[in-house]
């Protein structure tokens, strides 16, 4: 049996796809767009909503959901922007994906650009310097990708997409996941996988280390000077997880002193901002061996289309009383409290 439900959508990226999805109304789902910036309107509408689609859910919203809200549908994979202490335990939280291919392509692009010193060569030629072996026998060379070991921290949906794309161009993926306790060679996408205790072995074995794991108490500041030294002067670090996974000062010093070959950082401790805001208080922008991007690895158009399809499916399921996909936390029934 389908009951009519109301869903508030605060995320501007998935809203156009949800707005144009005629199957939602046909299956009992009414969607309304309220921008996250319109806090007062959101606070007014939330008590009458059955679901809310958002990436961010701060305390002032979480504390005012009322008794009707059943689903907080996160329009992203990460749930670290939710005010969990204030969110009623009766609210189910689900996340969404659709961005694995986009992130994987960003990682591959970054590895190629870093290994071939693309940004440095571009800057040099703009100044009239031809940094190539064609005219300079001492010019830098580079290695192609086959035989490169890529260590992936986080072998979930995104990490698996990264491993598959890297393997397709001849790289050798290995990985660690926080829920594994022993070495395994059974995963078809990785030469081996292990648990978090194998981080140092992963760093030592990898030519490229990719961070694609969530940020929590167990992963915060997991990459410091020791791990960067294990990667070494030819190693490449790529972070598409969260900025808090890396200790910034040791990273800056390792890059500045060339103890680490290169880094491609897409996520920073400083949140993305619509205003002009430096990514870090440290002068990473002065270094030629770092690729800086503004948390854009997942922002392909395909991502929002696929993400909206997943979200629409969950909203239809909610209206029909069917099990939801990608549940991060199941809400407690009111009579169980």
Q: Which domains does the chain have, with CATH numbers?
A: 5-98+301-336 (3.40.50.720), 100-292 (3.40.50.720)
pLDDT at residue 273, as a whole number? 87
pLDDT at residue 42, as a whole number? 94
Structure-block tokens of residue 308 = 């909206």
> Please, what's the b/e burial string for 65-97 (b: 16 or more CB within 10 A of its CB; e: otherwise)?
beeebbbbbbbbbebeebeeeebbebbbbbbbb
HSE-CB of 64 using CA atoms within 13 angstroms? 13
Question: Average of pLDDT values for 128-147?
Answer: 93
pLDDT at residue 279, as a whole number? 96
**Local structure of 269: helix, strand or coil:** coil
DSSP state of 287: -
**pLDDT confidence band for 1 (50 / 70 / 90):** low
Q: Is the pLDDT of residue 132 over 90?
A: yes
User: In terms of Cα–Cα distance, which of 61, 13, 70 is closest to 41?
Assistant: 61
Question: Average of pLDDT values for 332-337?
Answer: 69
Widest Cα–Cα separation across the chain: 78
Q: What is the pLDDT of residues 105-118, one digit of tens each?
A: 999 999 999 999 99
Q: Is 119 exposed, middle or buried, given 0-12, 13-18 or 19+ CB atoms closer than 10 A?
A: middle
Assessment of whether the complete model's pTM goes beyond 0.85: yes
User: In terms of Cα–Cα distance, which of 146, 110, 132 is closest to 291?
Assistant: 110
**pLDDT confidence band for 2 (50 / 70 / 90):** low
DSSP state of 48: G
Contact, 263 vs 239, CB < 8 A? yes
Place of tokens 């072998």: 155
Q: What is the percent of the chain with per-residue pLDDT over 90, rounded to a whole number?
A: 93
Please state, in angstroms and as integers, the Cα–Cα distance from residue 215 to each residue in 81, 156, 244, following that order.
11, 14, 7
Q: Which residues pair with 92 in a beta bridge?
A: 71
**pLDDT confidence band for 335 (50 / 70 / 90):** low
Q: Which residues contact 161 (CB under 8 A, 6 or more apart)?
A: 100, 101, 103, 104
Distance of CA 4 to the CA centre of its chain: 33
Q: Is the pLDDT of residue 336 over 90?
A: no
Q: What is the pLDDT of residues 142-186, one digit of tens each?
A: 999 999 999 999 999 999 999 999 999 999 999 999 999 999 999
**Local structure of 214: helix, strand or coil:** coil
> Please, what's the b/e burial string for 152-182 (b: 16 or more CB within 10 A of its CB; e: otherwise)?
bbbbbbbbbbbbbbbbeeebbbbbbbbebee
Report the side by side order of strands in the sheet with 236-239: 193-194, 172-176, 149-153, 208-211, 236-239, 262-265, 290-292
pLDDT at residue 66, as a whole number? 83
> Please, what's the b/e burial string for 24-63 (b: 16 or more CB within 10 A of its CB; e: otherwise)?
beebbbebeebebeeeeebeeebeebbbbbbbebeeebbe
Long-range CB contacts (within 8 A, 24+) of 14-18: 14/53, 14/75, 14/304, 14/307, 14/308, 14/311, 17/304, 17/305, 17/308, 17/309, 17/312, 18/53, 18/308, 18/311, 18/312
Give the Cα separation of 191 and 175 in Å (integer). 8
pLDDT at residue 3, as a whole number? 81
Question: Average of pLDDT values for 304-323?
Answer: 97
Question: Average of pLDDT values for 122-138?
Answer: 94
């Amino acid at each position: 049996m389908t009951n009519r439900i109301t869903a508030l959508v605060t995320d501007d990226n998935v809203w156009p796809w949800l707005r144009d999805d005629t199957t939602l109304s046909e299956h009992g789902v009414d969607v309304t767009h309220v921008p996250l910036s319109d806090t007062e309107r959101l606070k007014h509408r939330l008590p009458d909503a059955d679901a809310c689609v958002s990436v961010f859910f701060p305390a002032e919203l979480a504390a005012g959901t009322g008794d009707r809200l059943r689903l907080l549908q996160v329009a992203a994979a990460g749930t670290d922007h939710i005010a969990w202490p204030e969110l009623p335990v009766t609210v189910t939280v689900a996340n969404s994906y659709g961005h694995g291919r986009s992130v994987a392509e960003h990682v591959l692009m970054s590895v190629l650009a870093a290994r071939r010193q693309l940004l440095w060569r571009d800057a040099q030629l703009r100044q009239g310097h031809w940094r190539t072996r064609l005219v300079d026998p001492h010019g830098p060379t580079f290695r192609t990708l086959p035989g490169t070991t890529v260590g992936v921290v986080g072998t979930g949906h995104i990490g698996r997409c990264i491993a598959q794309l890297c393997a397709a161009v001849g790289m050798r993926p290995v990985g660690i996941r926080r829920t594994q306790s022993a070495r395994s060679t059974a995963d078809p996408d990785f030469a081996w996988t292990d648990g978090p205790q194998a981080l140092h072995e992963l760093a030592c074995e990898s030519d490229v280390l990719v961070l694609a794991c969530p940020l929590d108490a167990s992963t915060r500041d997991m990459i410091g000077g020791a791990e960067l030294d294990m990667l070494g002067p030819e190693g490449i670090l790529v972070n598409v997880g969260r900025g808090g996974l890396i200790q910034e000062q040791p990273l800056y010093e390792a890059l500045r002193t060339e103890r680490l070959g290169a880094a491609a950082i897409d996520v920073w401790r400083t949140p993305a901002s619509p205003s002009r805001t430096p990514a870090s208080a440290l002068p990473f922008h002065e270094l030629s061996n770092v690729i800086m991007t503004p948390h854009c690895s997942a922002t392909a158009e395909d991502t929002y289309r696929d993400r909206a399809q997943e979200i629409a499916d969950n909203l239809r399921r909610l209206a029909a009383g069917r099990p939801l996909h990608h549940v991060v936390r199941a809400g407690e029934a009111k009579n169980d409290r």
